[in-house]
Structure 1
Amino acid sequence: MRKIQVQGMHHITLMGADRQTSIDFWEGVLGMPFVFEQPNLDNPGDSHLYFDPGDGRLITIFTNENRPGDRHRTATDPGCVHHLAFNVSHASFSQAEARLKARGIHYFGPKDRGFMDSLYFKDPLGMLIELACYKFEPPFGCSHADVMIEAHRIRTGRGDDHIEEVHLADAIEALVERRQQSLSDDRSARNPF
């Protein structure tokens, strides 16, 4: 038996209501360019809208002008999607509260998650949306996941309950030491003063 190795998220498709509500939210609030539209090839009564969340991948929405929107919280039963989280820069994250307030969108947070800060609000159809802002930049040639797994190993090795910035800083240092060569025989911390 062998795995089917995935190489990233291709797209996520959500059930929307009318076309304009989707465009107004995904592009008009979250800034995702509206890049493609065609009929839903499995249900010609629906339209299929495609948005770029910023990494060239896709968020797609099935819309139908006869499908009313429902602003109640989407189901959180087992097997349901709890929320969608989108990466934002620190500059955008610092402006998010004011920009949500300007639209009258209720939110909660920001929340300190140790390795990121989070802000939550609902889309027009009740889907919980998270704006996530990493507290670190991975070293050159590494991904955020590389830093996270290294920080996890450091945290659990020390018996710490949850991730903190010290785990991230130590993980970044460890990754740099492993991945980047040095002419020095001793790369330990020193005080030149």
Structure 2
Amino acid sequence: MRTLQAQGIHHITFVGADRQTSIDFWEGVLGMPFVFEQPNLDNASESHLYFDPGDGRLITVFTNDERRPDRTRTSTEPGAVHHLAINVSRATFSQAMERLAERGIEHSGVKDRGFMDSIYFSDPLGFLVELAAYRFEPPAGSSHAEVLFEAHRIRVENGDRSIAEIHLADAIEAIIARSRPSLSKDRAPEQAG
């Protein structure tokens, strides 16, 4: 049976409250430019706001000015979306706690995820948002997913519980060895030191 081959996320749509709450959060807090707006074509009482998260895809929000924000945590029951992770640079990540505090936004503090660091906080509607910063850059021509795939293989082979920086470093080395030929028979130095 053939698959419906995915090639990335096209967009993610949230049900928001009023229009300004969405603009203030997605653009004002997270820096995603508000790129266009039109009516929700399936519900005339709602507007459909489009934001650019920086990777050529879209975050969209259905809004209705009759709805008010409710910070009660959104459902975490099976079938619900637990959180949205947003990629940020290491430079931005290092400033995240200070910048969230400036806005009075409570957060989790830095969480060590082995291959990345995370900070969690809620949007004005109680939806959990994660700022995620990778601890590595993939080799040119490779993706983060390729490095993680290789790091997972190494982790499992070593019997380790989760991916750590040693697995990432070894994965990057393996990917480079496979993708970039060398005239040397062995890439290791002949003499130590």
Same fold (TM over 0.5): yes
Change (3 A) 1:74 1:104: same
TM-score in terms of structure 1 length: 0.98
Hey, what's the Cα distance between the residues in 2 that align with 1:165 and 1:190? 26
Query: Does 1:51 pair with 2:20?
Result: no
- Paired residues for 1:1-193 under 5 Å: 1-188=1-188, 191=191, 193=193
- Deviation of 1:189 after TM superposition, in Å, equals 5.0
Q: Which amino acid aligns with 2:92?
A: S
Q: CA deviation at 1:18?
A: 0.3
Task: Please give the alpha-carbon distance, in whole angstroms, between the structure 2 residues aligned to 1:154 and 1:80.
Answer: 32
What is the distance in 2 between the residues matched to 1:62 and 1:190?
63
Deviation, 1:70, is 1.0
Identity of aligned residues (%): 69
Partner SS state of residue 75, structure 2: coil
Flag the 1:48–1:189 CA change in 2: closer, same or farther, 3 A: farther
Q: Distance in 2 between matches of 1:99 and 1:69?
A: 22
Q: Structure 1 residue 190: deviation in Å?
A: 5.1
Mapped to 2, the partners of 1:188 and 1:135 lie a distance apart of 25
**Partner secondary structure for residue 107 of structure 1:** coil
RMSD: 0.9
1:109 shift after superposition: 2.2
1:40-93, Cα deviation, whole Å (9 max, x unpaired): 000011000000111010000000001122110000000000000000000000
Partner Cα separation in structure 1 for residue 122 and residue 191 of structure 2: 50
Find runs of 4+ consecutive structure 1 residues off by over 4 angstroms.
189-192
Query: Cα 1:183–1:70, aligned 2, differ >3 Å: closer, same or farther?
Result: same
SS of match in other structure, 2:76: coil
Alpha-carbon separation, structure 2, partners of 1:45 and 1:139: 48
Q: Deviations over 1:108-131 (max 9, x none)?
A: 020110000000000000000000
Unaligned runs of 5+ in 1: none
CA distance in 2, matches of 1:109, 1:136: 20
CA distance in 2, matches of 1:17, 1:161: 41
State the AA in 1 paired with 2:57.
Answer: R
Secondary structure class of the residue paired with 1:100: helix
User: Structure 2 vs 1, CA of residues 99 and 191 (structure 1 numbering), >3 Å: closer, same or farther?
Assistant: farther
Q: Distance in 2 between matches of 1:168 and 1:56?
A: 27
Structure 1 residue 186 displacement after superposition: 1.2
Change (3 A) 1:49 1:186: same
Give the Cα–Cα distance (whole angstroms) in 1 for the partners of residues 189 and 149 of structure 2. 23
SS of residue paired to 1:49: strand
1:4 Cα deviation (Å)? 0.5
